[in-house]
Structure 1
Amino acid sequence: MASLNLTPPAVRYHGDQAVAPGMLDFAVNVRHAQPTEWLMRRLAARLTDLAHYPSAQDVRAAQDAIAERHGRARDEVLPLAGAAEGFALLPNLRPARAAVIAPAFTEPADVLSAAGVPVCHVVLEPPFGLEGVTIPDDADLVVVGNPTNPTSVLHSREQLLALRRPGRILVVDEAFADSIPGEPESLAGVSLPDVLVLRSLTKTWALAGLRVGYALGPPELLARLTAQRAHWPVGTLQLTAIAACCGRQAVAEAAAGAVRLAELRTEMAAGLTSVGAEVVDGRAPFVLFRMPDAASIRKSLGDRGIAIRRCDTFAGLDERYLRAAVRREWPLLVQAIAEALR
């Protein structure tokens, strides 16, 4: 499949760059326009503590909340300044060669390449499943999304585990896993010596500006990952948010929201199909679809005040693909596309 030459500007392109103030945003995959009231109150209560460095007690509280949420030991969890920090730390694992299963979030390949690690993109063909995938034998680090951004495809646990090899580390990006009802196929609760799972809390809890996430893996692997990490890498408000969003009540709230999102996604996919879009079968809270004149449609949508994600910045996709976040306002998107096609 034809793909854009992934120069640094293309790799660093993110959906927020398509959004201007006042636009209806289908480009960014953050679930809500702002954090929930209870979460904002929880964070506001800690503002007076910002004169102090993040405490060991706050770190332990965040670790314990993550551990309880996934049935892991405290030393198997690592609070992060967003899942993106987890990607930024991957060079500390000192891989000889990395394989990134694409299309995929561009950050891991960019970080590894910048650190001098040879990176191979293993590009999947539509419908973007792992059936028959071949990973180079000498790849000692494999990165895969589940569900994958931007395709929205959810791979089975068996397919993921089949990527393991002696001497290889498997990194699974589960940034959107909690947006799928029941979190099927997740490896977050599985303790394996060679598997690292990265999770984000920014999407579900509208905390993209705060940067919150975590890693799950064996203690030895987490120690290698953080070998050159700065002091106090996760701040007080971040740790507070992690502990809050991994609590039982919050997890139940997120799970209920995931059910509503799944229903909206089904409706939205049907609506896009009705105007001629070829929708990729997926489960994540965004829809990847292909249209012959996607570039002009995207421009027309922008003129109508609707932002959508271009996808020719992802390895394995071209200018015919667009990605849209699942929103209640999806009928407005479908109507605007229909008008653009007239």
Structure 2
Amino acid sequence: MTSDDLLRHHGDVDAAPGLVDFAVNVRGGRPPAWLRDRLASALDRVGAYPSAADDLRAREAVAGRHGCEPDEVLILNGSAEGFSLLPNLRSRKAAVVHPSFTEPEVALRAGGIPVHRVLLDQADGFVLHPERVPADADLVVIGNPTNPTSVLHPGERIRELARGRTVLVDEAFMDAIPGEPETLAGADGILVFRSLTKMWALPGLRAGYAVGPPDLLTRLAHNRPQWPVGTLVLEAVVACCEAPALAESEVAALDAQAHREALRAELAEFVIGDPRAPFLLLEIPDGERVRLALRERGIAVRRGDTFPGLGKDHLRVAVRSPRECLPLVAALRELEVRP
């Protein structure tokens, strides 16, 4: 693989059909029945173009969820579309905090934006050090909680980065943390991307949104095509921002927290740092051999060496229920893996 190929590698490549999937961080495998019903009912409207009123309805739903105004919301075809639009901000120099999801860096480099990598240290738990960000970087990108390290950075620490520059926080997994304690969605001057993919099992629909200053969103959306977001995406955004969905996601986040701690206890000798998201970063000696051996046993885990700052001994595993995790734990014991 070239370095570009490594950056474009994602967990869905590791999770081939027929494997027990610990590589992809999607809850439940398919949307809940009530959400499937909402999407099915919206099919009757796909014979008409999405209207400005449809878009406003979705933006109002997001604004109500995050306590902001509708003009501070941009509906996206998943966070991935938002990342692809980042070059529109015309940054002179972007700083991307790593290890983290690689698509923002890919998009910025493809758009001709110089990128500086800010590498956090495993030895101190991948703690954010704002002073490491170059003073001349006018755009900073950070994940919170961060994929793949599962670190939750304090919101106030991230705010320190925003003095005189744009800060983008990828909060794709924030709704998987009970109470969303460090969210900056709706905070003054901060650009936040949210995804519905993980919590609501919608990777095939590509639904998400950005929250941030209106002028920044206008620049981000420059030259998007007409009708950039479809009817089903708009309906999914509305449905997932309503009170019953928020209550369900809070329960799911509490479940994920309990399941994470159960799996963390089973794999304690390999777990890095203080994980807070619904996945664990592991460091296992001869990790590539272990990953391939697990695959031969029908189990997919996410390779870690495609993330800047990590290597072949790093593996990311999605959190599942204790019952679902039994095959993974048993296989690692069969392989006699030792720290």
TM-score (norm 1): 0.95
Query: 2:160 maps to which residue?
Result: 162
Shift of 1:279: 3.0
Equivalent-residue separation in structure 2 for 1:255 and 1:280 (angstroms): 24
Q: Would you say the 8 A contact 1:280–1:287 is kept in 2?
A: no
Shift of 1:304: 0.8
Q: Relative to structure 1, is the Cα distance of residues 202 and 132 closer, same or farther in structure 2, using a 3 angstrom cutoff?
A: closer
Shift of 1:230: 1.2
Pair 1:89 & 2:85 matched: yes
Q: 1:116-174: CA deviations, max 9, x gaps?
A: 100011000111111464111110000000000010100001110111222x1000000
Q: Would you say the 8 A contact 1:297–1:341 is kept in 2?
A: no
C-alpha RMSD of matched pairs (Å): 1.2
Pair 1:286 & 2:279 matched: yes
Amino acid at match of 1:324: V
SS at match of 1:238: helix
Amino acid at match of 1:169: T
Q: Which runs of 5+ in 1 are unaligned?
A: none
1:244 paired residue among 239, 242, 256: 239
Query: 1:223 maps to which residue?
Result: 218
Pair 1:203 & 2:181 matched: no
Equivalent-residue separation in structure 2 for 1:29 and 1:96 (angstroms): 33
Equivalent-residue separation in structure 2 for 1:280 and 1:310 (angstroms): 18
SS at match of 2:235: helix
**Identity among equivalent pairs (%):** 53
SS at match of 1:308: strand
Query: 2:304 maps to which residue?
Result: 311
Written as runs of structure 1 = structure 2, the 5 A alignment for 1:66-215 is: 66-126=62-122, 127-131=125-129, 133-166=131-164, 168-190=165-187, 192-193=188-189, 195-215=190-210
Q: Would you say the 8 A contact 2:14–2:302 is kept in 1?
A: yes
Shift of 1:46: 1.4
**Larger RCO of the pair (alpha carbons < 8 Å, separation 6+):** 1
Q: 1:4-25: CA deviations, max 9, x gaps?
A: x971111110101011212110
TM-score (norm 2): 0.96
Equivalent-residue separation in structure 1 for 2:131 and 2:137 (angstroms): 14
Equivalent-residue separation in structure 2 for 1:284 and 1:19 (angstroms): 20
Q: 1:173-222: CA deviations, max 9, x gaps?
A: 000000000001110132x23x1000001100000000000000011111
Larger helix percent: 2
Q: Would you say the 8 A contact 1:124–1:133 is kept in 2?
A: no
Amino acid at match of 2:310: L
SS at match of 2:26: coil
Query: 1:296 maps to which residue?
Result: 289
Q: Would you say the 8 A contact 2:128–2:157 is kept in 1?
A: yes
Pair 1:333 & 2:328 matched: yes
Written as runs of structure 1 = structure 2, the 5 A alignment for 1:5-24 is: 7-24=3-20
Q: Which runs of 5+ in 2 are unaligned?
A: none
Q: Would you say the 8 A contact 1:200–1:213 is kept in 2?
A: yes
Written as runs of structure 1 = structure 2, the 5 A alignment for 1:17-96 is: 17-96=13-92
